[in-house]
Amino acid sequence: MTIHNEAKLDEIAKTVLMPGDPLRVKYIAETFLDDYKLVNSVRGMYAYTGNYKGKEITVMASGMGMPSMGIYSYELYKFYNVENIIRIGSCGAYKEDLDLLDIVLVENSYNEGNFAKNYSGEELHFVEASKKLNNIIEETAKTIKQKYVKCNIASTEFFDPYLPDPLDYAKRLPKEYNILGSEMECFALFYIAKVLNKKSACLLSVSDSNCKKENLTAEQRTFAFNNMILLSLESAKKL
């Protein structure tokens, strides 16, 4: 156990799916898992462990933002011997290439801040997902005929819709990375996995379009991501 997680060591699976929203965690457990058990509720960050088609999987909330993701992913990797974490969250689109509810598989995450420097003094602003996990997710997507977009994403430290002009921020991003949108957690996940020699991936559903001025409701953000959830579960089954 840790100060943020009351689960016993054997109550967390080797593969963890991590939405940001605790209510999405509860929904996934109740809808898709068999024999699930609530193993953590500290600070309302629910974690459930159960079986998906015979594979033991834990679904746990990360909360919002890189500091929160950094804490929970670090503890899972370091103290619970977790090997794989797949973030399943939402993102905002910066370009018309993405429509609402499109599924994004993140290849690399860019952050202009100091998350990596704070941890290790390293000046690092671009970090990649696990190639092994991404390959499994892509193979699974083909098998179940699920469309997706593979791209680079920005991990921001401020919620896009509250920025004075999200597209002005998008113009600041390095052009060579061709970043299609943003979210708030996966840079931290990828970096923690990198320094601890673990594996991480990130699947996102588009919830906002900054260029088309469209967005999902709060309820849709919790319950409308079934295609992404199924892709993550079918992929986790192979790990």
Question: Any idea what the Cα angle at residue 3 is, between residues 120 and 130, rounded to 5°?
Answer: 45
Count of CB atoms situated within 10 Å of the CB of 235: 27
Rg (CA), the chain: 17
Between the alpha carbon of residue 72 and those of residues 45, 222, 237, the distances in Å are 9, 20, 22
Between the alpha carbon of residue 12 and those of residues 75, 98, 108, 113, 167, the distances in Å are 11, 34, 27, 31, 40
Count of CB atoms situated within 10 Å of the CB of 121: 8
Q: Residue 6 in 3-state DSSP? A: coil
Q: Which residues contact 131 (CB under 8 A, 6 or more apart)?
A: none
- Per the annotation, the verdict on 10 as an active-site residue is no
Of 21, 102, 160, 208, the catalytic one is: 208
- Judging by DSSP bridges, how do beta strands 84-93 and 199-209 pair with one another? parallel
Element containing residue 187 per DSSP (H, E): helix 186-195
Active-site residue numbers? 208
